[in-house]
């Protein structure tokens, strides 16, 4: 039996300003190891909100969340930061690299922070990740000298540095042209297949979603459907 | 390991805002430089001014005053115990000015732990003769070595060596104006008439200058032996015992205690020169206040720049938090930035402050009051450097504290969503 990595139980979320609005209502699902899951839905349906709750960054919600079997509700912010560092890798829509530092440093920081390996080892691992994504030649460049597609690949390399249990991506292709989107998708597909990496992607790109293993569709804060993509519908 | 990465990130952020960082550091440097210079200069002057009076003044002076006896024979008569008596026109008897039995007193004081040093003096009126006329003056018989050590006698010598008083028999040192009036130069013979009318010839071995004209035109110093000879007194004759203490503040209490213990008159420096203490402490206070104000202003500079940096680096903070850096780590990063600015700026400030002090110390400054001082006085004591260093670190820490706390509370979700 496959191991359950994420277990969301009856998650609800309200926004309070300007007035109380329910954004998520009784969301429950599980994600198992090695799954490539996408969350789709219209703008404002709460898919990003759900992702931030799953990522442990947003802690104001109802219900329970288990990551890798550990309940996160009662953890301190410090412990949650450690969980994010060790078990979750992030990829955002707008690359979000530290522009003051070189590519290799950007990839290394979460690894050094984790402190499991020496700096030399982390550097070696960072080079391996960059090589995997085909951008090892850019390692010493400053991160704002790269193109959008390259930046996103660096962000993926950074997400992979600590061998996280799960990679969470928020519209990873939203800011990229078709070619680069394709590239990013291929990378995700590849690491999912080869490294058995669990991936959770929030996207409004239905083509992208249709090529993942499983689609969770949200509508008005509730799960509309959850299952493998229906071939032919896009 | 963790410290290293925090330093690395802090350094990266600092480098990204080079100009502001430098401006902030220069603010601290300026504050510390001024602090050091101001305090060094102020306290140098303070010490100089205090020295004018304090160095020459014993903390406690033991002496004898000729006063009428407080008890009259009739008070002792037992058959008049219940009666009142009135004795008119009481006069002091012809007593001697010396401190009686002074040897045990001196040895007691020399061994007392609170006493830094003891010396004895004889003070007497004399006449200095020039041709047929004579000028009234004062001769101080001193123990030269102790006088040098306790009262910095050498500092006031403008010509000659004070030790000659001890080494050359029958020698004298005159006030500079007095020597001029007597038209004498070093090596000449000084004609001195003692109160009992006896005349002496003493050799002039040096001149002193205190800057106080009254003293310079009337006083002279000789060794205690020479003075005893002039006054025709035995060699245990001493009129004053001067005491320097380790802690000046104890002078009033100890003066009273010694007075009772030895049954002599005593006076302490605080009573004699109360205004000096007040003046110098207020001067120090002012310089501390100005220095600290400058540092606080520098602190606000750092505060501003960090705040700006945090607004600019919201994205970076969010990304650090998303990738597993806790609020504590983020606040450490910004605290480190503040401390780097503080330590770098403060270190340079200490250096520049020291250089500026040396510069001021080399500017010529001539005063009649202290003939040995040739340039502006500066107090180079490490105390001020330690205070300045501590203060720069503390101010920058607090300047960084609130921005850092703000940075640690940045909600990454709000930043990432807001894009």
DSSP state of B375: B
What is the sign of the dihedral through the CA atoms of B322, A171, A162 and A110? negative
Q: How would DSSP label each residue in B196-259? A: TS-EEEEEEEEEE--S-HHHHTTEEEEEHHHHHHHHT--TT--SEEEEEES-GGGHHHHHHHHH
- A84: which 2 tokens? 């994010």
Q: Hey, is the C-beta of B410 within 8 angstroms of any chain A C-beta?
A: no
Q: Is residue A109 in some structural domain?
A: yes
Instruction: Please state the domain count of chain A.
Output: 1
Asked whether B178 and B225 are in contact (CB, 8 A), the reply is no
Please, how many CA atoms are within 13 Å of residue A88, restricted to the half-sphere of its CB? 30
Q: Closest by alpha carbon to B209, among B372, B57, B366?
A: B372
**Nearest beta carbon to residue B324 from set A84, A96, A170:** A84
Q: For the domain that residue A101 is a member of, what is the CATH number?
A: 3.40.50.300
3-state helix, strand, coil in chain B (%, to 5): 60, 15, 25
Q: Is residue A59 in some structural domain?
A: no
- A1: which 2 tokens? 């039996």
Q: What is the pLDDT of residue B274?
A: 67
Packing angle, helices B382-408 and B274-312, rounded to 10: 30
Q: In what order do the strands lie in the sheet with A62-67?
A: A21-32, A4-15, A62-67, A70-71
Band (A195; pLDDT cuts 50, 70, 90): confident
* Cβ-based contacts of A84 with chain B (< 8 Å): 322-324
Query: Which has the higher per-residue pLDDT, B132 or A232?
Result: B132
Band (A233; pLDDT cuts 50, 70, 90): very low
State the Cα–Cα distance between residues B30 and B7, nearest whole angstrom: 25
Task: Report the C-alpha dihedral over residues B313, B318, B324, B330, rounded to 10 degrees.
Answer: 40
- pLDDT above 90 (res A194): no
- With tokens 């009739």, the residue in question is B74
Q: What is the mean pLDDT of residues A29-55?
A: 82
The answer to whether the peptide bond before residue A18 is cis (omega within 30 degrees of 0) is yes
Residue-range definition of the domain harbouring residue A196: 35-45+76-227
CB contact under 8 A, A113 and B323: yes
* pLDDT tens-place string over residues A99-158: 888 888 888 888 888 877 788 888 888 888 888 778 878 778 887 788 778 888 888 888
Q: What is the pLDDT of residue A52?
A: 84
Burial class of residue B296 in the structure, from the number of CB atoms within 10 Å of its CB (0-12 exposed, 13-18 middle, 19+ buried): middle
Q: What is the pLDDT of residue A1?
A: 58
Write down the ipTM of this complex. 0.81
Residue spans of chain B under pLDDT 50 = none
Q: Is residue A9 in some structural domain?
A: no
Band (A234; pLDDT cuts 50, 70, 90): very low
Instruction: Tell me the shortest Cα–Cα distance from A145 to chain B, in angstroms.
Output: 15
Please, how many CA atoms are within 13 Å of residue B239, restricted to the half-sphere of its CB? 19
Packing angle, helices B327-361 and B314-322, rounded to 10: 130
- B87: which 2 tokens? 């004795």
Q: Hey, is the C-beta of A99 within 8 angstroms of any chain B C-beta?
A: yes
Q: Is residue A10 in some structural domain?
A: no
Q: Is residue A99 in some structural domain?
A: yes
Q: What is the pLDDT of residue A224?
A: 78
* Cβ-based contacts of B16 with chain A (< 8 Å): 99-100
Q: What is the pLDDT of residue B91?
A: 84
């Amino acid at each position: 039996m496959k191991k359950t990595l994420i277990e969301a139980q009856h998650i609800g979320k309200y926004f309070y300003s300007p007035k109380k609005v329910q954004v998520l209502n009784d969301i429950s699902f599980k994600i198992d190891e090695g799954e490539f899951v996408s969350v789709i839905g219209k703008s404002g349906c709460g898919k990003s909100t759900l992702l931030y709750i799953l990522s442990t960054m947003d802690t104001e919600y109802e219900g329970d969340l288990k990551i890798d079997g550990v309940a996160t509700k009662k953890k301190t912010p410090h412990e949650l930061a450690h969980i994010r560092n060790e078990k979750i890798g992030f990829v955002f829509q707008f690359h979000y690299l530290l522009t003051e530092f070189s590519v290799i440093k950007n990839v290394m920081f979460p690894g050094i922070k984790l402190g499991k390996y020496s700096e030399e080892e982390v550097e070696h691992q960072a080079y391996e990740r960059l090589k995997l994504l085909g951008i090892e030649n850019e390692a010493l460049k400053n991160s704002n000298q790269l193109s959008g597609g390259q930046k996103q690949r660096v962000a993926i390399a950074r997400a992979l540095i600590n061998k996280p249990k799960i990679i969470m991506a928020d519209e990873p292709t939203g800011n990229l042209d078709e070619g680069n989107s394709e590239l990013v998708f291929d990378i995700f597909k590849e690491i999912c297949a080869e490294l058995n990496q669990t991936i959770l992607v929030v996207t409004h790109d239905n083509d992208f979603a249709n090529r993942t293993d499983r689609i969770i569709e949200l509508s008005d804060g509730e799960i509309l459907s959850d299952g493998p993509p229906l071939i032919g519908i896009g | 390991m963790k410290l290293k990465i925090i330093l690395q990130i802090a350094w990266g952020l600092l480098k990204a805002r080079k100009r502001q960082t430098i401006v902030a550091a220069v603010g601290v440097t300026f504050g510390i430089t001024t602090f050091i210079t101001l305090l060094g200069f102020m306290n140098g002057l303070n010490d100089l001014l205090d020295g004018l009076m304090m160095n020459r003044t014993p903390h406690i002076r033991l002496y004898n005053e000729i006063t009428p006896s407080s008890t009259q024979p009739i008070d002792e008569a037992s058959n008049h115990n219940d009666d009142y008596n009135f004795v008119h026109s009481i006069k002091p008897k012809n007593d001697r000015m010396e401190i009686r039995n002074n040897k045990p007193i001196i040895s007691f004081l020399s061994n007392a732990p609170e006493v830094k040093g003891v010396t004895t003096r004889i003070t007497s009126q004399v006449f200095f003769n020039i041709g047929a006329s004579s000028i009234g003056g004062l001769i101080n018989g001193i123990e030269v070595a102790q006088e040098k050590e306790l009262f910095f006698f050498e500092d006031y010598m403008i010509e000659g060596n004070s030790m000659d008083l001890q080494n050359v028999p029958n020698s004298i040192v005159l006030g500079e104006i007095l020597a001029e009036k007597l038209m004498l130069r070093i090596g000449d013979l000084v004609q001195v008439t003692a109160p009992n009318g006896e005349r002496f010839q003493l050799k002039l071995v040096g001149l002193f200058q205190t800057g106080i004209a009254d003293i310079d035109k009337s006083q002279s110093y000789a060794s205690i032996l020479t003075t005893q000879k002039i006054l025709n007194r035995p060699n245990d004759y001493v009129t004053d015992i001067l005491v320097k203490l380790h802690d000046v503040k104890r002078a009033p209490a100890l003066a009273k205690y010694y007075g009772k213990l030895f049954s002599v008159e005593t006076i302490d420096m605080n009573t004699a020169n109360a205004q000096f203490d007040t003046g110098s402490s207020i001067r120090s206070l002012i310089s501390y206040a100005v220095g600290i104000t400058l540092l606080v202003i520098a602190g606000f500079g750092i505060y501003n720049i960090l705040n700006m940096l945090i607004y600019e680096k919201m994205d970076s903070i969010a990304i650090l938090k998303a990738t597993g850096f806790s609020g504590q780590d983020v606040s450490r990063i910004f605290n480190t930035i503040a401390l780097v600015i503080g330590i770098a700026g403060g270190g340079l400030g200490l250096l520049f402050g020291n250089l500026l002090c040396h510069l001021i110390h080399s500017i010529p400054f001539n005063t009649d009051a202290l003939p040995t001082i040739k340039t502006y006085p500066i107090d180079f004591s490490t105390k001020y450097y330690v205070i300045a260093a501590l203060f720069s670190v503390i101010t920058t820490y607090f300047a960084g504290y609130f921005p850092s706390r703000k940075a640690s509370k940045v909600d990454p979700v709000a930043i990432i969503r807001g894009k």
